[in-house]
A and B are shown apart, each in its own frame.
Chain A
């Protein structure tokens, strides 16, 4: 099986974008309207942590019981890691990200403008309307910051570009088992969506999707749920242990397979896309809906177990976990729960637990599985 196609790194991408006269938006997790930023010539570069930074600068502002996604993001920023950014966007996903946005605005005050974005917690007409208004308000702030005022046609063009990239990403997901990619390579590619311009990302995906299909990847099929698969070495470890990730419910990946919108009004279309994405606790999706989604993915892909791979102190994940695990188990899908801190290396203890889980699943006869 081939390994990673050549993916430009974050640093290269940012440099190239800036050389063309573009500007950078550092974007915190989870959901945001990429098309809106791009319409202003801003390349969204997402900051999921990042892993393995010196946590000390952030620890001067945040208590130790705040998750490492938020702690690391602040440490990274305070260590000038976001110097390349021209604006910072902080979408609202949970109490911790809310706190980070507020700290940045009130106390840290970086040199770049900080724009919070509230993502509503329902999928009612009022939620849709609010998010459309919120996108419009962000448009006004970006216009004031950049001096640009993209037209409606430009906004729609930007949306179309993102929808195309997301469509290809969904296709990549559908065909993942017959692509010449290891799990690690697959996720390196999928996660390049976090920083590559949509058109470059789409070109990369097209090249991969154009390769002839291979035999379905062998191994014990499992599903990965959680926030972010860090350290990424976990994926290679799963492969070496005889597992294969056939689907995911990761906040950075599968929960952001945004479907195309239908509205011809740009802000509403941006809102539709976010609210119609797969279920996500941070958008208020009911647990039953999440369960149906996980079960559906497992049925379609033949997954025989679920690895819940969470960031420590992540309330949105931790609240759903007991019921999800119990009901999955009742339906014949065993699971394991692992919590990590983004600054910790992949420990022997974690690997042993994953290995033990895979062995346990492998010994379970398929009939004992899905009911």
Chain B
């Protein structure tokens, strides 16, 4: 780190940037709602703060090279290790989702496609590789990684993808391989294997970070991580209330900090404030959907470029999407994190995300959600370029219909690539689904 980089970072990230972002927040608070408030509740008051928090994170990334070590990380990775070593942590999946929401993902992914990356590959990966090749990004600038940290607990795709990044950046790739859990319990030798890899990663990360891992700091980060995840889970569970105070579409937008800022104190404060606002909504009888008649489940990733369309279309018919296996994934493991036995609990926590478990487990999770959230139906987004989440959905849908008697729709789309979103077909299928809900 040289003095110039430190000053540049301090000025932009701690002084100038926050002032500009505060101003933007102030303006946002005064802007009229963009989504149709005839059917939907007014936007959450916290929304401009979410934007500010996320923008600050990306702003810090913009000036990180030369000041802080940078790690590019998969969304399910044990980030606590990196946080405790003061890495700036960048999540390419989140960046890709930002591109999706801003509807620039296809333009950026095309850069990867022109370089030979197939349209059959995960659209997050294509967006990210396209951003690396072209420098295009809606967040200003992506810092180069000093290390790539991939954990296979969401899919194998991330490893194939990070191997590509390793070539482009010449950066070391640290792998935490988490054997897929086909049955209810992970085998003990699999947990042992994950723990061993976590321990083996430490000296490598220490060498790159240029400092030793402080166990006390790691414990502190673990505590913050657990607390934020618990708050997130509480917020989601508030949607058991009728009418649900927030919808899954709100959750998709509010989940950015739990993914990319897990382990930071600001994240805990943020979710405590969100929980408070959600409780206020419950106390005053505000529902995310004004005339909530039916409640449904969402399975799989969001369709980032059509959040508003889906929210408004469904709300117009009195349908509130109130629970999701996807947003739940960042909360359900909170009880497993034990800051007093961090290494063992990290191994267990990171082997058990829903995406690292069998198709039967996902069905049981959905069935449980249908009961706990009193759901009337389910939308299963069959996501063309996310195979690990989508395989199994055809049986899951059939079983939801057969065993719980709820209508379930398989909706063909893609999380980031709007070229596979067949507008008319989706509208027809959604209309038919809404009719079946009654």
Q: Write the residues of chain A forming the contact surface with B, with a CB cutoff of 8 angstroms.
A: 60-63, 65-66, 92, 94-96, 98-103, 105-107, 116, 118, 120-122, 124, 126-127, 129-130, 133-134, 136-137, 281-282, 284, 286-288, 312-313, 315-316, 318-323, 325-326
Contacts and interface: CB of A to CB of B under 8 A. Distances in A.
Given A281-B163, A322-B116, A61 B395 contact: yes
7 contacts: A62-B394, A65-B385, A95-B391, A98-B156, A284-B175, A286-B167, A319-B163
Interface in B139-190: 152, 155-157, 159-161, 163-164, 166-167, 173, 175, 177, 179-180, 182-183, 187, 189-190
A62 B410 CA distance: 12
Contacts, number: 157
A315 B363 contact: no
B396 to A, nearest CB: 8
B200 interface: yes
A136 B387 CA distance: 30
B318 interface: no
B387 A65 contact: yes
B120 A103 contact: no
Interface string B381-397: 01011011011111100
B285 interface: no
A318 B179 contact: no
B197 interface: yes
B6 to A, nearest CB: 34
A120 B180 contact: no
Nearest to B410: A63
Contacts of A66: 387, 391
Contact of B118 (A122, A127, A318): A318
B394 A102 contact: no
A95 B394 contact: no
A323 B157 CA distance: 16
A284 B163 contact: yes
Contact of B391 (A103, A105, A286): A103
Which applies to chain A's interface (DSSP): helix, strand, loop or mixed? helix
B170 to A, nearest CB: 10
B157 A315 contact: yes
A60 to B, nearest CB: 7
Residue from B160, B180, B392 having most chain A Cβ neighbours under 10 A: B160
Contacts of B382: 63
Contacts of B385: 65
Q: Which of A98, A312, A325 counts the most chain B CB atoms within 10 A?
A: A98
Contacts of B182: 101-102, 105, 116
Given A65-B384, A116-B182, A107 B116 contact: no
Contacts of B160: 281, 315-316, 319-320
A320 B160 CA distance: 8
Contacts of B163: 281, 284, 286-287, 319-320
Contacts of A106: 358-360, 363, 392, 395
A130 B179 contact: yes
Contacts of B359: 99, 102-103, 106-107
A92 B360 contact: no
Contacts of A65: 120, 384-385, 387, 390
Chain A CB within 10 Å, residue with most, of B164, B167, B391, B394: B391
Contacts of A137: 187, 189
Contacts of B189: 130, 133-134, 136-137
- Which of A133, A136, A326 gathers the greatest number of chain B CB atoms within 10 Å? A133
B387 A126 contact: no
B150 to A, nearest CB: 9
A316 B156 CA distance: 9
Contacts of A325: 116
Contact of B193 (A98, A126, A136, A326): A126
B39 to A, nearest CB: 32
Nearest to B160: A319
Contact of B167 (A92, A103, A126, A323): A323
Nearest to B396: A107
Contact of A121 (B121, B122, B175, B391): B175
B161 A319 contact: yes
Nearest to A312: B120
Contacts of A282: 156
